[in-house]
Structure 1
Amino acid sequence: MTTEFKTKQPRQLLLATDLGARCDRALDRAVQLSQAWHAPLTVVHAFEQIEPIADTPGWRQPQDIALAIQAELVEELSETGLPGISARVVRGKPSEVVLQVAEDVQAELILTGVKRDGAFEKALLGDTVAALARQSPVPVLVVKKRLRKPYGKIVVATDLSELSRAALARAVDMFGPENLVVFHAAFAHFASRMDDRVAYESELREDAIQNCRDFIRDVAGETAAANIDVVVEYGEPDLLLESYVQDKRIELVVVATHGRSGLLGVLLGSIAIRILDSVACDVLIVRS
């Protein structure tokens, strides 16, 4: 049944930070989205244990280190000039703390950063990011790139399955259809046996594009189908997306995961986690 999706942007944002430089980019993006969507932002930092400050006398150690960190975090966040921003510092396993605070504040989007390889500036997924991607009931935005402007080029990866409807629906909800591209990686079965492989693949591509447009129409309605571009290529989705993101300077890729199993990759098999790991741009992970 066709559903007309109207823009429904998150009303409460949550940024998970380790207080390191790796999360500066995520903070900048969180502030930008908070301002654009008029959505309050909560910043959460989780710690499992805190070592005493080195070479500092005991009488200078904070009585409550968590409160001291929170006060410092609040002071830093005040420099953003963002109204409605708050901070929480909580002891516990980071992924569990983030998910609990997200539930407490009724967050509709979690943002987080990534580690980076200084030699090659490659984003490296950490355990907390991977856990949030697998377990979060709300979308998780993994920020890799520096903020230069609002998202303008957004790709929704889909295999046209029922599971992948969630990714397209949330992308339309959050960003509208105008800047979206639906990207479908297809397989040209028996192409190697055809005398005219180019003509065969061209015919299949036309059918696949029409299937994509029907899919968009079914998920998001006629308006979205008329505004969203479609790209169909043949090959492995993660490899194709990696090249497409680089060539077209894509700023955000949206993928879906299966909520019931809690495992990444049901939408595109094990490829979803490879997309998250391989593409250079930000990735929005939507639980189906």
Structure 2
Amino acid sequence: MVATDLTQRSEAPFARAISLAHQLGGEIIVAHVVAPGSRSDRDIVERKMADLIDRQSAGAGVPIAAKVLQGSVPSALAEAAQQCGCDLIVTGIARYNSMGDHILGTAVDHLVRHSKLPVLIVKNTPGRNYDHLLVATDLSNCSRHALVYAAEMFADPRIDLVHVYHVAYKPVLSSKLVAIDVQAEAEEELQAFIDDPTIPADVRSRVNAKAVRGDLTEVIDQRMRADDIDLLVLGTHGRSGLVHAMIGSRAAELLSWVPSDVLMIRESS
């Protein structure tokens, strides 16, 4: 399901959805949410959606349907996607100067916390299939599930797995020894995470795993810009999970600086 606000900002998510439908197989449902009881708005929206589909899907070669929903944007999208048997919700970014800009910020936060489906936030017009994934892990079952889910969804890309750890304050004389010990422990824990039998051997063989000391957001930013990452994968589970620990209610802030698309996966996905 592709969420659209019927503006140019929806073109990149729509294009990515078409690309994924070709790559993975499947159909596309284009969805727009209007306020409850807006009959006149609904008629206008239906015409705009028909024009959007005609314009965007020319030569697409995949089945595309339109759906006009009513209610709260995140709730309506999550519920409709579940009812329609969708595998993925695809959405885009929004500006900050309108009460109608629901896609970025609290709506994304709501979707990733409450939707049972993965949510793909598209920031870039697709020029190619995803080629290089970065999966951030806190060594939880939730992030292990996100790793396996993304690897099985995208069978070809390179996968970097990063675990960011911290060194607690210690006296200066012992700081170097402490750092070495913590590094060794973090690497052992990461290897145990990778060796877990729930990770298939073919997925394990594709993963380049690394434990890195530092601040989570800074490390992710550095890795993404240095390694030409085109998809960041994060695991989330309701009010726990890496996304909540990492950003909490700051989804808009995170998505404002991450240069790539972002795939957020709940453990129940």
Indicate the TM-score class for this superposition, using the shorter chain for normalisation: 0.7 to 0.9
User: Partners of 1:164 and 1:63 in 2: how far apart?
Assistant: 40
Structure 1 counterpart of 2:22, which letter? Q
Q: How many residues align?
A: 257
Deviation at 1:194, TM superposition (A): 4.4
2:146 maps to 1:167: yes
Contact (CA 8 Å) 1:217, 1:224: kept in 2 or not? Answer: no
User: Partners of 1:166 and 1:62 in 2: how far apart?
Assistant: 41
Deviation at 1:205, TM superposition (A): 3.0
Deviation at 1:270, TM superposition (A): 3.4
Structure 2 counterpart of 1:217, which letter? D
User: Partners of 2:127 and 2:175 in 1: how far apart?
Assistant: 45
2:14 maps to 1:35: no
Identify unmatched segments of 5+ residues in structure 2: 98-102
User: Partners of 1:192 and 1:117 in 2: how far apart?
Assistant: 45
Deviation at 1:114, TM superposition (A): 0.3
2:186 maps to 1:208: yes
Structure 1 counterpart of 2:2, which letter? L
Aligned to 2:158: 179
Structure 2 counterpart of 1:125, which letter? L
2:229 maps to 1:250: yes
TM-score by length of 1: 0.78
TM-score by length of 2: 0.83
Aligned to 1:56: none
Deviation at 1:191, TM superposition (A): 5.8
Contact (CA 8 Å) 1:140, 1:284: kept in 2 or not? Answer: yes
2:75 maps to 1:96: yes
For residues 49 and 101 of structure 1, do their structure 2 counterparts lie closer, same or farther at Cα, with a shift above 3 Å needed? closer
Aligned to 1:229: 208
For residues 192 and 248 of structure 1, do their structure 2 counterparts lie closer, same or farther at Cα, with a shift above 3 Å needed? farther
Structure 1 counterpart of 2:183, which letter? R
Contact (CA 8 Å) 2:21, 2:62: kept in 1 or not? Answer: no
Deviation at 1:47, TM superposition (A): 1.3
Contact (CA 8 Å) 2:78, 2:115: kept in 1 or not? Answer: yes
Deviation at 1:164, TM superposition (A): 1.9
Deviation at 1:167, TM superposition (A): 1.2
Aligned to 2:88: 109
Structure 2 counterpart of 1:35, which letter? H
Q: Which structure has the larger Rg?
A: 1
For residues 149 and 234 of structure 1, do their structure 2 counterparts lie closer, same or farther at Cα, with a shift above 3 Å needed? same
Contact (CA 8 Å) 1:255, 1:272: kept in 2 or not? Answer: no
Q: Report which stretch shifted further, 201-210 or 159-168.
A: 201-210
Deviation at 1:105, TM superposition (A): 1.5
Deviation at 1:15, TM superposition (A): 0.6
Contact (CA 8 Å) 1:177, 1:224: kept in 2 or not? Answer: no
Which of residues 143, 147, 163 in structure 1 aligns to 2:126? 147
User: Partners of 1:49 and 1:77 in 2: how far apart?
Assistant: 27
User: Partners of 1:266 and 1:187 in 2: how far apart?
Assistant: 18
Deviation at 1:34, TM superposition (A): 0.7
Structure 2 counterpart of 1:287, which letter? R
Say which SS state the counterpart of residue 71 (structure 1) adopts.
Answer: helix
Structure 1 counterpart of 2:7, which letter? G
Identify unmatched segments of 5+ residues in structure 1: 1-13, 53-60, 119-123
The CA deviation string for residues 179-226 of structure 1, in whole angstroms up to 9 with x for no partner, is 1111100112356634572x6535543442342232122131333333
Identity of aligned residues (%): 27
Say which SS state the counterpart of residue 173 (structure 1) adopts.
Answer: helix
For residues 202 and 23 of structure 1, do their structure 2 counterparts lie closer, same or farther at Cα, with a shift above 3 Å needed? farther
Aligned to 1:271: 246
Say which SS state the counterpart of residue 64 (structure 1) adopts.
Answer: helix
User: Partners of 2:180 and 2:22 in 1: how far apart?
Assistant: 44
Structure 1 counterpart of 2:35, which letter? E
Deviation at 1:91, TM superposition (A): 2.8
For residues 93 and 160 of structure 1, do their structure 2 counterparts lie closer, same or farther at Cα, with a shift above 3 Å needed? same
Aligned to 2:104: 125
Contact (CA 8 Å) 1:156, 1:182: kept in 2 or not? Answer: yes
For residues 62 and 193 of structure 1, do their structure 2 counterparts lie closer, same or farther at Cα, with a shift above 3 Å needed? closer
